Structure 1
Amino acid sequence: MDRNQATGLILFAAVILIYSIFFAQTTEEPIEPIPTETEMADTPQSAQPAIAPIQEVYSPEMDSIQRANYGVLGVYLQGEEETAVLENDKIKVTFSSKGGTIKEVILKEYTSSDGEPLDLLSEDRSSMDFRIQTSRGELSLSSLYLKPSLSSEETEEGKVQTLTFSGATESGSISVKYTLADGKYEVGKSFSVDRYQGVFTGNTVNLSWKDQVKAHEKDLAESRRKTEVTYYLSSGSFENLGVADDLETETAEEPVKWIGFSQRFFTAGIIADSTFQNVTVSQSTPADSSTVRSMQADLQIPFINGAYSLNYYFGPDSYKGLKKVTEGFENNVDMGYFFVSWVNKYIIVNLFAFLENFFNNYGVIIVLIVLIIKLALFPLTYKSYVGMAKMRVIKPEIDELKEKYGEDATKMQQEQMKLFSKLGVSPISGCLPLLLQMPFLFAMFFFFPNAIELRGESFLWAKDLSTYDEFIKLPFTIPFYGSHVSLFTLLMTVSQIAYTHFNNQLTTATGPMKNIGYIMPVMFMFVLNSYPAGLSFYYFVSNMVTFGQQALIKLFVDDEKIRKKVEESKIKNANKKKSKFQQKLEDAMKAADNNRKK
Structure 2
Amino acid sequence: MEEKKLDLNSIIGFVLIFGILIWIMYQNQPSEAAIVAEKAKKEQVAKEDKASKVVVNQDAEVPTIGAVGDTIQLAKLQKSLGNFAYSASLPSAKDTVTIIENDLVILKIANKGGYIVEATLKNFERFKKGSGQLVELIKDNNANLNVQLLTTDNRTLNTKDLFFEPILTKYGADQILSMRLKSGANEYLEYKYILKPNDYMIGFEIHSQGLKSVLDASKPLNIEWDLKSFRNEKSVSTENRYSEICYEYEDAKSNYIGQGTDKMEMVSDVSYVAFKQHFFCSVLLTDVPFKSAELHSNNLVHDDKIDTIYTKQFKAIIPIAFKNGEIDQKMNWYFGPSDYAILKTYDKNLEDIVPLGWGIFGWINRHAFIPMYGFLSMFIAPGWAIILFTILVKLFMSPVTYKSFLSQAKMKVLKPEITELGEKFKKDPMKKQQETMKLYNKAGVNPMAGCVPGLLQMPVFYALFQFFPSAISLRQKGFLWADDLSSFDSVYKLPFHVPAYGDHISLFPILASIAIFFYMKMTTGDQQMAAPQQEGMPDMAKIMKYMIYISPVMMLLFFNNYASGLSLYYFVSNTITIGIMLVIKNYIIDSDKIHAQIQVNKLKEPKKQGKFQRKLQEVMEQAEAQKAKDKKK
TM category, shorter: 0.7 to 0.9
Q: 5 Å matches for 1:21-32? A: none
Asked whether the equivalents of residues 161 and 179 of structure 1 are also in contact (C-alpha less than 8 Å), the reply is yes
Asked whether the equivalents of residues 228 and 310 of structure 2 are also in contact (C-alpha less than 8 Å), the reply is yes
Please list every run of 5 or more consecutive structure 1 residues that lacks an aligned counterpart in the other structure: 1-18, 33-49
Q: 5 Å matches for 1:211-250? A: 211-244=227-260, 246-250=261-265
Residues of 1 paired with 2:581 and 2:375: CA distance?
A: 29
Aligned partner (choices 302, 310, 315) of residue 321 of structure 2: 302
Aligned partner (choices 329, 350, 354) of residue 333 of structure 1: 354
Distance change in 2, residues 1:463/1:166 (3 Å)? same
Residues of 1 paired with 2:216 and 2:612: CA distance?
A: 75
Q: CA deviation at 1:139?
A: 3.1
Aligned to 1:573: 605
Q: Percent identity?
A: 31
Q: CA deviation at 1:396?
A: 1.9
Report the TM-score, using the length of structure 1 for normalisation. 0.84
Q: 5 Å matches for 1:311-350? A: 311-325=332-346, 327-350=348-371
Q: CA deviation at 1:473?
A: 2.1
Please list every run of 5 or more consecutive structure 2 residues that lacks an aligned counterpart in the other structure: 1-43, 532-540
Aligned to 1:112: 126
Aligned partner (choices 261, 273, 290) of residue 309 of structure 2: 290
**CA shift digits 1:420-442 (9 cap, x unpaired):** 11111111222212221111012
Aligned to 1:8: none
Residues of 2 paired with 1:140 and 1:578: CA distance?
A: 75
Residues of 2 paired with 1:314 and 1:98: CA distance?
A: 21
Residues of 2 paired with 1:396 and 1:381: CA distance?
A: 25
Asked whether the equivalents of residues 204 and 301 of structure 1 are also in contact (C-alpha less than 8 Å), the reply is yes
Residues of 2 paired with 1:460 and 1:452: CA distance?
A: 19
Residue 603 of structure 2 is aligned to residue 552 of structure 1: no
Aligned to 1:541: 572
Q: CA deviation at 1:532?
A: 1.0
Residues of 1 paired with 2:525 and 2:431: CA distance?
A: 28
Of 222-231 and 508-517, the range deviating more from structure 2: 508-517
Q: CA deviation at 1:332?
A: 2.0
Distance change in 2, residues 1:179/1:490 (3 Å)? same
Distance change in 2, residues 1:61/1:406 (3 Å)? farther
Distance change in 2, residues 1:121/1:373 (3 Å)? same
Asked whether the equivalents of residues 86 and 93 of structure 1 are also in contact (C-alpha less than 8 Å), the reply is yes
Asked whether the equivalents of residues 72 and 171 of structure 1 are also in contact (C-alpha less than 8 Å), the reply is no
One-letter amino acid of the counterpart of residue 142, structure 2: R
Q: CA deviation at 1:119?
A: 0.7
Q: How many residues align?
A: 551
Distance change in 2, residues 1:591/1:74 (3 Å)? same
* 3-state SS of 1:568 partner: helix
Asked whether the equivalents of residues 273 and 310 of structure 1 are also in contact (C-alpha less than 8 Å), the reply is yes
Asked whether the equivalents of residues 492 and 536 of structure 1 are also in contact (C-alpha less than 8 Å), the reply is yes
Q: CA deviation at 1:270?
A: 0.9
Q: CA deviation at 1:579?
A: 6.8
Aligned to 1:12: none
Asked whether the equivalents of residues 86 and 92 of structure 1 are also in contact (C-alpha less than 8 Å), the reply is yes
**CA shift digits 1:2-24 (9 cap, x unpaired):** xxxxxxxxxxxxxxxxx978x97
Residues of 2 paired with 1:358 and 1:53: CA distance?
A: 67
Of 59-68 and 517-526, the range deviating more from structure 2: 59-68
Aligned to 1:592: 623
Aligned to 2:463: 443
Residues of 2 paired with 1:55 and 1:280: CA distance?
A: 27
Report the TM-score, using the length of structure 2 for normalisation. 0.80
Q: 5 Å matches for 1:358-377? A: 358-359=379-380, 361-377=381-397
Q: CA deviation at 1:56?
A: 4.1
Residues of 2 paired with 1:238 and 1:505: CA distance?
A: 45
Aligned to 1:257: 271
Q: CA deviation at 1:494?
A: 0.8
Asked whether the equivalents of residues 261 and 269 of structure 1 are also in contact (C-alpha less than 8 Å), the reply is yes
Asked whether the equivalents of residues 134 and 199 of structure 1 are also in contact (C-alpha less than 8 Å), the reply is yes
**CA shift digits 1:484-536 (9 cap, x unpaired):** 22211111111111122333454425723641344322222222222111111
One-letter amino acid of the counterpart of residue 455, structure 1: R
Residues of 2 paired with 1:337 and 1:346: CA distance?
A: 13
Asked whether the equivalents of residues 470 and 486 of structure 1 are also in contact (C-alpha less than 8 Å), the reply is yes
**CA shift digits 1:21-55 (9 cap, x unpaired):** 8x979xxx9x99xxxxxxxxxxxxxxxxx857999
**CA shift digits 1:78-131 (9 cap, x unpaired):** 433332222122211111123431111111111111622211112421111123
Asked whether the equivalents of residues 276 and 302 of structure 1 are also in contact (C-alpha less than 8 Å), the reply is no
Asked whether the equivalents of residues 448 and 535 of structure 1 are also in contact (C-alpha less than 8 Å), the reply is yes
Of 461-470 and 145-154, the range deviating more from structure 2: 145-154
Asked whether the equivalents of residues 171 and 195 of structure 1 are also in contact (C-alpha less than 8 Å), the reply is yes
Q: CA deviation at 1:77?
A: 2.1
Q: 5 Å matches for 1:34-433? A: 56=62, 59-60=65-66, 63-66=69-72, 67=74, 69=78, 72-78=83-89, 79-113=93-127, 115=131, 116-135=133-152, 137-154=155-172, 159-166=173-180, 169-202=184-217, 204-244=220-260, 246-252=261-267, 254-286=268-300, 288-304=307-323, 305-325=326-346, 327-359=348-380, 361-433=381-453
Asked whether the equivalents of residues 188 and 312 of structure 1 are also in contact (C-alpha less than 8 Å), the reply is yes
Distance change in 2, residues 1:418/1:184 (3 Å)? same
Distance change in 2, residues 1:291/1:446 (3 Å)? same
RMSD, aligned CA: 3.1
Q: CA deviation at 1:455?
A: 1.2
Q: CA deviation at 1:314?
A: 1.0
Asked whether the equivalents of residues 267 and 316 of structure 1 are also in contact (C-alpha less than 8 Å), the reply is yes
Residues of 2 paired with 1:243 and 1:494: CA distance?
A: 32
